[in-house]
Amino acid sequence: MSHLFEPFPLRSITMRNRIGVSPMCQYSCHEGFANDWHMVHLGSRAVGGAGLVVVEATAVTPEGRITDRDLGLWSDAHIEPLARCVRFIREQGSVPGIQIAHAGRKASRKAPWFGDQELTVAEGRWTTIGPSPLAFSDSYPAPEAMSVEQIQLMVQAFAKTAERALAAGFQSLEVHAAHGYLLNSFLSPLSNLRQDAYGGSFDNRCRMLLETVRAVRGVWPESLPLSVRLSCSDWVEDGWTLEDSIALALLLKDEAVDIIDCSSGGVSAEARIPVGANYQVPFADAIRRRTGMATGAVGMITQSMQADAIIRSGQADLVFIAREFLRDPYWPLRAQKELHAKTEGLVPVQYARAFPRQH
């Protein structure tokens, strides 16, 4: 039976445990460049014992940023500052992963601590894009509907970014197709009203993501894992459902995707989401059982026993933890103690005197 501190081998890499740092935007960049904040933020979670550290949503084009302070990897100049973080994460024994993304119709915003608003013209607002000219909500502008040529260029932008992620030394790559951002907005019938090959039927709405994943897999080595984050439900009647996610996961499996990272929501401002402990775990469980793929569970996972139970019961292969990792970068070290797990070498030698029985 697997448990939280059992290693997780996948393709040619092995994560030392089942704990992943969920991607979390830091809104701390200038022109998309990683800096000392990212080094300390990501580095301390690797020091804290995470098996996998996934770098925040990283934009494939400048217009793909949620805010003007988002991380990007749209040029070769962005590689080295990230490579520095990657080297440190690897030195600590964690696997460095990165989520590549385009924010679509939810782009061009201010960082959250400046209020949930569009950037002003003076701040450099840009025109957003999406499958159809439908605004996310009253406080967002309607995006421009993408042409087929723009879609094809975007697929290439994802692939180019994956190549740069490889050059930076990342060992795991995640395509962000959740939370109402560009790829998710193509999937959902609520945001995609196109009548061409990229809209209408289920297959047509999945086309852009599948083309993206195929292009990304074409440049991302067979030896390294690829994951896709999905919003497994829109939480709206007539929206995207778990059954849709299972059908899509099977198509993604055929494209050599290894992990479905199971999140939800973000397409509709009207969604009523039953947020609570483990509220998205049933998605990870169902997709794992029905497709035979590895899954990641995320959302309100905060306790060591809770996380261990998810892995032990076979509901997911990995747990992704977000806000609890902001409260405690050393969460895995705490969990190891609470679960009496005996894992060699999780505590950095520099800290051994503080963890006498764990080292």
Ligand X SMILES: Cc1cc2nc3c(=O)[nH]c(=O)nc-3n(C[C@H](O)[C@H](O)[C@H](O)COP(=O)(O)O)c2cc1C
Give the catalytic positions in this structure: 181
CA dihedral 278, 70, 123, 112 (to 10 degrees): 20
> Are 58 and 100 contacting, i.e. CB atoms less than 8 angstroms apart?
yes
Element (H, E) at 46: helix 36-47
When the beta carbons of 83 and 300 are compared against ligand X, the nearer one is 300
Name 19's bridge partners: 319
When the beta carbons of 231 and 336 are compared against ligand X, the nearer one is 231
Tokens of 21: 């740092």
Tokens of 82: 């990230």
Q: Where on the chain is the footprint of ligand X (CB under 6 A)?
A: 22-25, 56-57, 99, 176, 178-179, 229, 263, 298-301, 321-324
Tokens of 287: 């997709």
When the beta carbons of 321 and 346 are compared against ligand X, the nearer one is 321
Q: How far is the CB of 179 from ligand X (least distance, A)?
A: 6
Q: How far is the CB of 96 from ligand X (least distance, A)?
A: 15
Tokens of 299: 């959302």
Give residue 10's identity as a one-letter amino acid code.
L
Distance CA 96, CA 55 (A): 8
Distance CA 119, CA 112 (A): 11
Distance CA 318, CA 51 (A): 9
Tokens of 254: 């055929």
Element (H, E) at 320: strand 318-321
Q: How far is the CB of 333 from ligand X (least distance, A)?
A: 18
When the beta carbons of 289 and 323 are compared against ligand X, the nearer one is 323
When the beta carbons of 199 and 285 are compared against ligand X, the nearer one is 285
Q: How far is the CB of 319 from ligand X (least distance, A)?
A: 9
Element (H, E) at 19: strand 19-21
Q: How far is the CB of 20 from ligand X (least distance, A)?
A: 10
Burial (Cβ within 10 Å: 0-12, 13-18, ≥19) of residue 273 = middle
Query: Which residues lie below 8 Å from residue 335, measured CB to CB, with a gap of 6+?
Result: 4, 19, 304, 307, 308, 341
Q: How far is the CB of 241 from ligand X (least distance, A)?
A: 19
Q: How far is the CB of 131 from ligand X (least distance, A)?
A: 19
When the beta carbons of 4 and 298 are compared against ligand X, the nearer one is 298
Helix H, strand E, coil C: the string for 88-150 is HHHHCCCEEEEEEECCHHHCCECCHHHCCCECCCCCCCCCCEECCCCCCCCCCCCCEECCHHH
- DSSP code, position 347: S
